[in-house]
């Protein structure tokens, strides 16, 4: 004879922090807690006041790092299992259809994926075309149009190029006021277009210019903007999932903009593959006139100084550094580094030994007593990697070490290492970069 | 006239390590520091103070423990340090952060004419570079990011001239005051605090502004005022060091392999 | 009373009054300095004075020092004669050695005669030396030197002239007992008229020169005649191996930015300097052509003190950064490696290094002005407690492949204080691993602090960043106390000296031992057995670390260990032991560029290479780096390797 199960009180459990998981994101859990049950400690981690905590689990849901859990003692767990069993015995009611958040309804009118075409007085930045590639995927997933935004003076040719890279429509704002990029004129034009045409997704290259512009646009429109994304996709509910590194690249975060539109991202250059160019593709150009006059714009560009005109090379500001050490043997040999630097758009630097030997000037020295650099790519050529040098460059995104001695400490920090004779390896790299450049030019032409 | 320097206290992310087994961040013992970019923003503010006689107020939004960082700004020569701290400010994205900072700047500007808002280019924990532009837009003032030199400030005509570093070139831009300047790290070398200044700063009080003082609409700040939501956090694939080729006699192959890898890893586009 | 006596009284009173006034002015300035108790342990101080001042211990260390020894003692003895001379001038009939009985009078006359001729010879030699084989500094031919030498020579000549005339006139019964004066007299016409007058003239010449000398003294570098003896009395009772603490209170001044902020002893030092130049001769900065010359630093302090003497409050000549004599250039202050070679050789125990650090403190703490490369060091030290700014978690990386116990009072006897270089520098990690191996072999109970270890702060203290050092020292001492640390082994002589000597100022009672000493002891006690046929390291030359050797007197232990581990005693470089030459990295120089002159480490490597060694043995991580770099610069790193003593011993351990 089956015994009627007793009514058991559901155990409450204990809300607690899972050690090591909190990333001190900035007190989201505390902000979310309706019951003042969370205070933050010195390290930025939550301390949960169990007296006040109602186990509402809001903090669990908001925590991006899944660092909070409800813990049940083994006894409690037993009861829970029992309850689950009882529940399973009963027929489960139809799950209620998930009610849509009313805030989402008004966002429905936003449609289309937009890509901002970055250019310097008409010369396009490659990242704009890279974004058309990923933009096409997003547009397909959302079943909408992929559009290019072209703002500038005498930039209509960029529309054609955008079509060749996959855009089906281009919004063109062409006026002398947009000759130079200025935040004020560009963001106003961009916002004007967005407010008029209501795109759902807006992508901008995460370059200096792009980040300058996107920040202003998103703030003006009071919408979400995710910086420097390295991954974009659409989730099952149609949201744009934006993945980006944070915390000095130690973690990745997936971020979405739920209740405001457009969903805006800046996207890191070189990350998205460049789509194949199809010069036969055509699209529609929508010309727009933005009511902006030169006298409305406060900032004036007074002078443009090309990098080649700068009196000195600032090693600390370079994105790509080719650095040579004692292994270079003499000043003359730095030429081969300069050739590679020219090819990659980088600058030549050196270790202390090279300065002491008189091969290179002091301002090019990287290390403890020289410059601290954080380039995207750092080539350490003929540098053994003594600690005094390492501390000046170890925060570089990518380190490439070329050294004859495979025991050299530089290999411990290198992303890529080549054990070999630098006098053969460096010219070989330069030659291969040139070869690939030529191939690509051939393909594009 | 007033310069408001915005600083943030951040964990020293270069000291953060990831547990290779669990993939979680090891934050144990990682100290909080002034965001390195902001040290340059503060320094530039102080240099302009020395040159033109501005008053420098430092604002920072953060937990009460950020007081340490603000005290450091006083030791370096800031005239006033204000901590914007309230639990309703917590969980903010860049949109909500710039809202609170702008609120504080406006409040300061009520008492004294605002000349410049000085920010670092970005923070080392968030890396967004969005808060500066956010403030500029909200204030409706000139937005000058990527500044690597402040050429001059003309107090008579209330304009300034800065040099901005863009891809492949620099541009010199003039703009009227007030303006928001976001500086690059190469703009200057921060000064070092003298001992008398440190001792002075130890005894100075940090002004605390919570939302009772700020009176911000709670829907526009903190978690509620944030337009973005973090859905999840995970550890990236760690690129382990890789020795390419290895055969000393075939440098061409190693070179090709290197470039191929770099292109694969999106380091180069060729 | 005769007219002569009256004339002499007037001259004497005027001269003495002027001398007294000069002394009052000069020594009054010294009293403006900050307090410093140098009156304790009077007995020991008295002994120091006898030994070093009257014994001229350090003076005679250099070959030509004997000349000074002779001059000094001649001067001391003639002081008696000259006192008698002056009193005799006042009361010719009542005060005179000639009134003594014959035996006593003749003895004195003989001694004074001999001393005078010795003094004269010494002076002549000194003059000849200055022209033919001058000491290695320009000021050897200064006007001051020749004025003084001329006065002394004149004094002696007048003395002989006076005595010879009297002997020739038959007026001195001690004639035959004064061989030199007697010999001079033999050239004079015996009993001639006018000899008495001539004697009076010489007497007056002697008197005038003597008083002129006296009055000139306070204005010349030869003031040391008055100050060096007390300076030896006031010398630091212990070797100078640290700097005093500062109190960090609002309103205090930090470091020394104007001359009166030195202690009175610091000012007195400047009066005691004879500008013999031995300090500069020993200085690695001077040797490599840098602006720093310790002698000039001390000289500038003196000149600054005197030049600013009349100015109340307003100092026209800044102590630091002004132009010309009397002002120390900033770069000079930064060029010091604090190696202590200057203090080691100074015959009168002038304390150069603390003065330089005082001025560094002023620049860093008050002015926040220092060579730009130090900014990174200071930030790194403050934020990450190591000079490179490496994440503290990396401190345990050296032990990734071995089993290391954490220090736990009661369970482990020694704390192995690995040090920043030992834990973080790839090359020096090998030394650390060697030590771990040695400790285990010898059965030592040891543990480390792991990632909790903090920097000792040595570089900060030497660089004058006392404020941050102070905080680091207190944090370390607190941690040692909390963990119950009593005995510490260090790998780095800088940690060693800092924990041992500097931390004592904070009341830390720590037994600190450097690995060289410990290994030596372990071998001696038989706890560490080495292979009977050690690996062949070829010719080994040992380089003394300043902070091990000069600062802490550890010279023999490392040499004995090398002998045990290699089977033969190490070769010695030309400059070794207390005369050892710095590698160039001490005093925070490790973190700075050498902008002037040649490189110190290369100079030292060149010296080592003269011995054609196969191995250079060091006992300090800084020396290791400097030698490694220097050998590479000299393209000798293929032939000569640098090893730490610990590595040599670890290699010689039986398997």
Across the interface, of C373, C377, C388, the residue whose CB is closest to A387 is C388
Q: Are C581 and C284 in contact (CB under 8 A)?
A: yes
> Does residue B238 carry a pLDDT above 80?
no
Mean pLDDT (whole number) for C402-426: 95
Nearest Cα neighbor of B143 from B112, B104, B103, B102 is B102
Mean pLDDT (whole number) for B76-85: 97
**Residue B183: predicted pLDDT:** 97
**Residue C631: predicted pLDDT:** 95
Rounded to a whole number of angstroms, the distance from the CA of A138 to the nearest CA of chain C is 41
> Residues of A with CB below 8 A from C591's CB?
368-369
**Residue C323: predicted pLDDT:** 86
> Residues of C with CB below 8 A from B30's CB?
391
**Residue A443: predicted pLDDT:** 62
Residue in chain C lying closest to A366 (CA): C373
Q: Which residues 278-337 on chain A approach chain C with CB closer than 8 angstroms?
A: 326
Rounded to a whole number of angstroms, the distance from the CA of B2 to the nearest CA of chain C is 25
Across the interface, of A25, A65, A428, the residue whose CB is closest to B252 is A428
Q: Count other Cβ atoms within 10 Å, centred on residue A176.
A: 9
Do C273 and C341 fall within a single domain? Answer: yes
**Residue A26: predicted pLDDT:** 80
Rounded to a whole number of angstroms, the distance from the CA of C607 to the nearest CA of chain B is 37
> Residues of B with CB below 8 A from A126's CB?
269
> Which CATH number fits the domain that encloses residue C271?
1.10.1060
Q: Are C616 and C543 in contact (CB under 8 A)?
A: yes
> Residues of B with CB below 8 A from C250's CB?
196, 199-200, 203
**Is B102 strand, coil or helix?**
helix
> Residues of C with CB below 8 A from B198's CB?
467
Q: Distance between CA B47 and CA B54 in Å, rounded?
A: 9
Q: Which CATH architecture has domain A105-296?
A: 3-Layer(aba) Sandwich (3.40)
Domain boundaries A14-88, CATH class: alpha beta
Rounded to a whole number of angstroms, the distance from the CA of B132 to the nearest CA of chain C is 26
Do C359 and C453 fall within a single domain? Answer: no
Do C24 and C131 fall within a single domain? Answer: yes
> Residues of A with CB below 8 A from C625's CB?
386, 388
Please, is A427 exposed, middle or buried when counting C-beta atoms within 10 Å of its C-beta (0-12, 13-18, 19+)? middle
Cβ of A368 within 8 Å of Cβ of C426? The answer is no
Q: Identify the top-confidence range among A67-81, B37-51, C135-149.
A: B37-51
Name the band, by pLDDT with cuts 50, 70 and 90, for residue B43: very high
> Does residue C207 carry a pLDDT above 50?
yes
Q: Count other Cβ atoms within 10 Å, centred on residue B260.
A: 15
Q: Are C78 and C116 in contact (CB under 8 A)?
A: yes
**Residue A5: predicted pLDDT:** 53
Do C534 and C560 fall within a single domain? Answer: yes
Name the band, by pLDDT with cuts 50, 70 and 90, for residue B247: low
> Residues of B with CB below 8 A from C378's CB?
192
Name the band, by pLDDT with cuts 50, 70 and 90, for residue B16: confident
Instruction: Identify the domain containing residue C203 by its residue range.
Output: 3-233
**Which pLDDT tens digit goes with each residue over C452-466?**
999 999 999 999 999
Q: Can you give the residue ranges of every domain in chain A?
A: 14-88, 105-296, 308-440
How many domains does chain C contain in total? 3
Q: Distance between CA A261 and CA A202 in Å, rounded?
A: 9
Residue in chain C lying closest to B31 (CA): C383
Of A53-67, A339-353, B109-123, C12-26, give the lowest mean pLDDT range: A53-67
Q: Is the peptide bond before B178 cis (omega within 30 degrees of 0)?
A: yes
**Residue A247: predicted pLDDT:** 81
Across the interface, of B91, B145, B248, the residue whose CB is closest to A421 is B248
Non-local (6+) Cβ contacts of B222 within 8 A are A31, B87, B88, B89, B90, B91, B92, B96
Test mutation, A62, A183, A307, A400, chain B, max B CBs within 10 A: A183
Please, is A382 exposed, middle or buried when counting C-beta atoms within 10 Å of its C-beta (0-12, 13-18, 19+)? buried
Test mutation, B28, B36, B124, B192, chain C, max C CBs within 10 A: B192
Name the band, by pLDDT with cuts 50, 70 and 90, for residue C520: very high
Q: Distance between CA B199 and CA B196 in Å, rounded?
A: 5
The chains in contact with chain A, meaning 3 or more Cβ pairs closer than 8 Å, are B, C
**Which pLDDT tens digit goes with each residue over C337-364?**
999 999 999 999 999 999 999 999 999 9
> Does residue A445 carry a pLDDT above 60?
no
> Residues of A with CB below 8 A from B63's CB?
27, 40, 44
Test mutation, B137, B141, B175, B181, chain A, max A CBs within 10 A: B137
Do C183 and C299 fall within a single domain? Answer: no
Mean pLDDT (whole number) for B203-218: 95
Instruction: Tell me if C572 is assigned to some domain.
Output: yes
Mean pLDDT (whole number) for C362-387: 94
Please, is B15 exposed, middle or buried when counting C-beta atoms within 10 Å of its C-beta (0-12, 13-18, 19+)? buried
Mean pLDDT (whole number) for C567-588: 96
Cβ of B251 within 8 Å of Cβ of A425? The answer is yes
Cβ of C375 within 8 Å of Cβ of B17? The answer is no
DSSP β-ladder status, B228-234 and A416-419: unpaired
B18 close contact with C: CB closer than 8 A: no
Q: Do domains A105-296 and A308-440 have the same CATH topology?
A: yes
Mean pLDDT (whole number) for C413-435: 96
C377 close contact with A: CB closer than 8 A: yes
Q: Are A276 and A164 in contact (CB under 8 A)?
A: no
Count how many Cα atoms sit within 13 Å of the Cα of residue C224 in the half-sphere of its side chain. 25
**Which pLDDT tens digit goes with each residue over C213-265?**
999 999 888 889 899 999 999 999 999 999 999 999 999 999 999 999 999 99
Of B151-155, B240-244, C462-466, give the lowest mean pLDDT range: B240-244
Instruction: Tell me if C109 is assigned to some domain.
Output: yes
DSSP H helical segments within C31-100, as ranges?
A: 42-48, 65-90
> Among residues C215, C233, C251, which one ends one of the domains?
C233
Average pLDDT taken over every residue of chain B: 91
Do C540 and C427 fall within a single domain? Answer: yes
> Does residue A250 carry a pLDDT above 90?
no
> Which CATH number fits the domain that encloses residue C157?
1.20.950
- What are the phi and psi torsion angles at A289 (to 5°)? -110, 120
Mean pLDDT (whole number) for A400-418: 91
Across the interface, of C254, C372, C451, the residue whose CB is closest to B189 is C372
Do C407 and C298 fall within a single domain? Answer: no
> Residues of B with CB below 8 A from C370's CB?
192
Q: Which CATH architecture has domain A308-440?
A: 3-Layer(aba) Sandwich (3.40)
Mean pLDDT (whole number) for C580-608: 96
Cβ of B25 within 8 Å of Cβ of A20? The answer is yes
Helix (H) / strand (E) containing B164: strand B159-166
> Residues of C with CB below 8 A from B42's CB?
none
Which residues make beta-bridge pairs with B83? B60, B208
B250 close contact with C: CB closer than 8 A: no
The chains in contact with chain C, meaning 3 or more Cβ pairs closer than 8 Å, are A, B
Beta strand ranges found along C466-544 (DSSP E): 487-490, 511-514, 540-542
A412 close contact with C: CB closer than 8 A: yes
Residue in chain C lying closest to A390 (CA): C388
% of residues, chain A, pLDDT over 90: 58
Nearest Cα neighbor of B207 from B113, B111, B126, B94 is B111
Name the band, by pLDDT with cuts 50, 70 and 90, for residue B248: low
Nearest Cα neighbor of C300 from C277, C318, C280 is C318
Do C152 and C299 fall within a single domain? Answer: no
Test mutation, B140, B245, B254, chain A, max A CBs within 10 A: B254
Cβ of A414 within 8 Å of Cβ of B252? The answer is no
C393 close contact with A: CB closer than 8 A: no
Cβ of A368 within 8 Å of Cβ of C599? The answer is no
Test mutation, A327, A328, A369, chain C, max C CBs within 10 A: A369
A404 close contact with C: CB closer than 8 A: no
**Which pLDDT tens digit goes with each residue over C146-172?**
899 999 999 999 999 999 999 998 888
Cβ of A42 within 8 Å of Cβ of B267? The answer is no
> Does residue A10 carry a pLDDT above 80?
no
> Does residue A1 carry a pLDDT above 50?
no
> Residues of A with CB below 8 A from B101's CB?
none
Do C329 and C408 fall within a single domain? Answer: no
ipTM over 0.90: yes
Of A235-239, C139-143, C161-165, C509-513, give the lowest mean pLDDT range: C139-143
Cβ of A20 within 8 Å of Cβ of B26? The answer is yes
> Among residues C233, C268, C301, which one ends one of the domains?
C233
Do C551 and C637 fall within a single domain? Answer: yes
Task: Give the CA-trace dihedral at C207, C211, C214, C216, to 10 degrees.
Answer: -120
- Helix%, strand%, coil% for chain B, nearest 5: 35, 30, 35
Name the band, by pLDDT with cuts 50, 70 and 90, for residue C1: low
Do C353 and C387 fall within a single domain? Answer: no
> Residues of B with CB below 8 A from A398's CB?
262, 265, 267
**Which pLDDT tens digit goes with each residue over C40-83?**
999 999 999 999 999 999 999 988 889 999 999 999 999 999 99
Residues in chain A: 445
> Among residues C217, C233, C249, which one ends one of the domains?
C233
């Amino acid at each position: 004879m089956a015994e009627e199960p007793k009514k058991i009180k559901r155990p409450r459990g204990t809300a607690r922090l899972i050690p090591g998981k909190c990333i001190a994101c900035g007190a989201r859990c505390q902000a979310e807690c309706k019951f003042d049950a969370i205070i933050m400690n010195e390290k930025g981690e939550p301390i949960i006041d169990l007296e006040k905590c109602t186990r509402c689990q809001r903090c669990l849901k908001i925590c991006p790092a899944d660092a909070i859990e409800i813990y049940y003692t083994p006894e409690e767990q037993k009861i829970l299992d029992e309850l689950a069993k009882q529940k399973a015995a009963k027929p489960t009611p139809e799950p209620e259809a998930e009610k849509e958040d009313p805030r989402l309804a008004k966002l429905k009118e936003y449609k289309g994926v937009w890509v901002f075409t970055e250019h310097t007085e008409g010369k396009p930045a490659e990242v704009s075309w890279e974004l058309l590639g990923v933009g096409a995927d997003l547009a397909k997933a959302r079943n909408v149009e992929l559009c290019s935004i072209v703002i500038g003076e005498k930039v209509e040719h960029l529309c054609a190029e955008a079509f060749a890279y996959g855009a089906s429509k281009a919004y063109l704002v062409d006026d002398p006021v947009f000759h130079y990029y200025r935040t004020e004129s560009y963001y106003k034009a961009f916002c004007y277009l967005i407010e008029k045409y209501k795109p759902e997704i807006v992508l901008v290259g995460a370059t200096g210019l792009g980040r300058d512009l996107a920040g202003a646009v998103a703030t003006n429109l009071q919408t979400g903007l995710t910086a420097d994304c390295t991954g974009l996709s659409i989730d099952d509910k149609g949201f744009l999932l934006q993945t980006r590194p944070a915390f000095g690249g130690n973690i990745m975060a997936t971020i979405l903009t739920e209740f405001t539109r457009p969903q805006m991202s800046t996207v890191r250059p070189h990350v998205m593959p460049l789509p194949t160019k199809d010069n036969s593709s055509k699209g529609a150009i929508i010309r727009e006139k933005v009511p902006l006059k030169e006298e409305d714009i406060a900032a004036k560009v007074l002078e443009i100084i090309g990098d080649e005109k700068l009196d000195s090379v600032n090693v600390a500001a370079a994105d790509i550094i080719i650095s040579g050490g004692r292994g270079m043997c003499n000043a003359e040999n730095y030429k081969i580094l300069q050739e590679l630097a020219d090819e990659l758009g980088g600058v030549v630097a050196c270790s202390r030994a090279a300065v002491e030997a008189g091969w290179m000037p002091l301002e090019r020295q990287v290390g403890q007593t020289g410059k601290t650099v954080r380039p995207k790519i750092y080539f350490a050529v003929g540098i053994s990697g003594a600690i005094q040098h390492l501390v000046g460059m170890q925060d570089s995104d990518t380190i490439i070490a070329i050294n004859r001695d495979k025991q050299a400490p530089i290999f411990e920090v290198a992303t890529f290492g080549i054990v070999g004779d630098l006098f053969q390896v460096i010219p070989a790299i330069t030659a291969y970069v040139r070869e690939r450049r030529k191939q690509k030019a051939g393909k594009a032409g | 006239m007033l310069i408001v320097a915005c600083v943030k206290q951040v964990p020293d992310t270069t000291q953060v390590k990831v547990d290779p087994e669990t993939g979680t961040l090891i934050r144990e013992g990682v100290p909080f520091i002034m965001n390195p970019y902001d040290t340059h923003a503060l320094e530039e503010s102080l240099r302009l103070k020395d040159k033109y006689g501005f008053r420098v107020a430092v604002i920072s939004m953060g937990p009460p423990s950020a007081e340490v960082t603000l005290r450091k700004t006083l030791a370096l020569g800031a005239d006033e340090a204000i901590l914007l701290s309230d639990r309703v400010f917590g969980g903010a994205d860049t949109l909500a952060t710039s809202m609170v900072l702008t609120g504080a700047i406006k409040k300061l500007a009520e008492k004294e004419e605002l000349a410049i808002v000085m920010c670092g280019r970005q923070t080392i924990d968030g890396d967004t570079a969005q808060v500066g532009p956010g403030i500029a837009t909200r204030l409706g003032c000139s937005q000058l990011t990527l500044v690597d030199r402040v050429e001059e400030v003309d107090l008579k005509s209330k304009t300034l001239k800065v040099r901005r570093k863009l891809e492949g070139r620099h541009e010199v831009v003039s703009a009227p005051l007030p303006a928001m300047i976001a500086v690059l790290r190469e703009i200057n070398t921060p000064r070092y605090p003298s001992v008398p200044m440190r001792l002075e700063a130890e005894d100075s009080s940090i002004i605390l502004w919570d939302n009772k003082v700020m009176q911000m609409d709670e829907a526009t700040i903190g978690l509620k005022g944030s337009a973005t939501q973090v859905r999840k956090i995970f550890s990236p694939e760690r690129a382990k060091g890789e020795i390419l080729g290895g055969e000393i006699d075939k440098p061409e192959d190693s070179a090709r392999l290197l470039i191929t890898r770099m292109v694969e890893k999106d380091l180069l586009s060729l | 009373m005769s007219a002569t006596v009256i004339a002499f009284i007037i001259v004497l009173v005027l001269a003495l009054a002027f001398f007294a006034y000069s002394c009052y002015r000069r020594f009054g300035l010294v009293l403006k300095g900050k307090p410093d108790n140098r009156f304790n342990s009077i007995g020991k101080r008295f002994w120091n004075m006898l030994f070093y001042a009257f014994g001229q211990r350090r003076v005679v260390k250099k070959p030509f020092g004997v000349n000074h020894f002779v001059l000094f003692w001649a001067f001391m003895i003639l002081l008696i004669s000259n006192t008698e001379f002056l009193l005799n001038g006042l009361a010719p009939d009542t005060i005179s050695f000639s009134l003594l009985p014959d035996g006593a009078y003749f003895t004195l006359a003989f001694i004074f005669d001999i001393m005078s001729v010795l003094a004269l010879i010494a002076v002549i030699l000194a003059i000849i030396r200055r022209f033919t084989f001058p000491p290695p500094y320009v000021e050897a031919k200064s006007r001051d030197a020749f004025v003084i030498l001329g006065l002394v020579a004149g004094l002696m000549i007048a003395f002989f002239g006076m005595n010879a005339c009297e002997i020739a006139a038959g007026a001195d019964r001690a004639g035959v007992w004064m061989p030199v004066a007697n010999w001079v007299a033999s050239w004079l016409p015996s009993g001639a008229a006018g000899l008495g007058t001539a004697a009076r003239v010489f007497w007056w010449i002697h008197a005038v020169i003597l008083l002129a000398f006296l009055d000139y003294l306070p204005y010349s570098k030869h003031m040391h005649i008055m100050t060096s003896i007390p300076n030896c009395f006031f010398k630091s009772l212990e070797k100078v191996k640290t700097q005093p603490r500062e109190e960090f209170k609002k309103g205090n001044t930090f470091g020394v930015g104007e001359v009166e902020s030195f202690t009175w002893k610091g000012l007195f030092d400047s009066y005691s300097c004879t500008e013999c130049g031995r300090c500069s001769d020993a200085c690695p900065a001077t040797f490599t052509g840098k602006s720093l010359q310790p002698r000039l630093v001390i000289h500038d302090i003196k000149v600054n003190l005197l030049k600013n003497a009349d100015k109340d409050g307003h100092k026209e000549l800044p102590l630091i950064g002004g132009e010309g004599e009397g002002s120390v250039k900033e770069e000079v202050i930064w060029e010091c490696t604090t190696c202590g070679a200057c203090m080691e050789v100074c015959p009168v125990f002038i304390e150069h290094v603390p003065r330089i650090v005082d001025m560094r403190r002023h620049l860093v703490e008050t002015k926040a002005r220092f060579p730009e490369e130090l900014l990174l060091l200071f930030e790194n030290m403050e934020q990450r407690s190591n000079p490179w700014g490496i994440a503290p978690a990396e401190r345990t990386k050296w032990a990734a492949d071995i089993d290391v116990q954490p220090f736990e009072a009661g369970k482990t006897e020694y704390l192995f204080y690995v040090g920043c270089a030992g834990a973080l520098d790839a090359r020096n990690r090998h030394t650390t691993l060697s030590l771990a191996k040695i400790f285990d072999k010898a059965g030592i109970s040891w543990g480390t602090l792991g990632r909790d270890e903090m920097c000792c702060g040595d570089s900060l203290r030497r660089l004058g960043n006392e404020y941050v050092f102070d905080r680091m020292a207190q944090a370390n001492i607190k941690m040692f106390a909390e963990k119950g640390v009593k005995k510490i082994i260090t790998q780095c002589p800088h940690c060693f000296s800092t924990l041992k000597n500097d931390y004592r100022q904070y009341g830390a009672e720590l037994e600190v031992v450097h690995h060289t000493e410990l290994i030596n002891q372990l071998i001696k006690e038989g706890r560490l057995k080495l292979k009977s046929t050690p690996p062949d390291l070829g010719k080994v030359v040992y380089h003394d670390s300043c902070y091990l050797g000069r600062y802490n007197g550890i010279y023999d232990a490392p040499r004995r260990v090398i002998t045990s581990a290699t089977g033969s005693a190490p070769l010695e470089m030309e400059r070794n032991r207390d005369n050892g030459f710095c590698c160039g990295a001490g005093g925070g120089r490790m973190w700075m560029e050498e902008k002037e002159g040649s490189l110190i480490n290369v100079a030292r490597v060149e010296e080592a290479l003269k011995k054609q060694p196969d191995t250079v043995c060091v006992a300090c991580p800084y020396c290791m780096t400097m030698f490694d770099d220097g050998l590479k610069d000299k393209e000798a790193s293929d032939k000569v390797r640098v090893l730490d003593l610990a590595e040599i011993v670890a290699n010689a351990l039986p398997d």
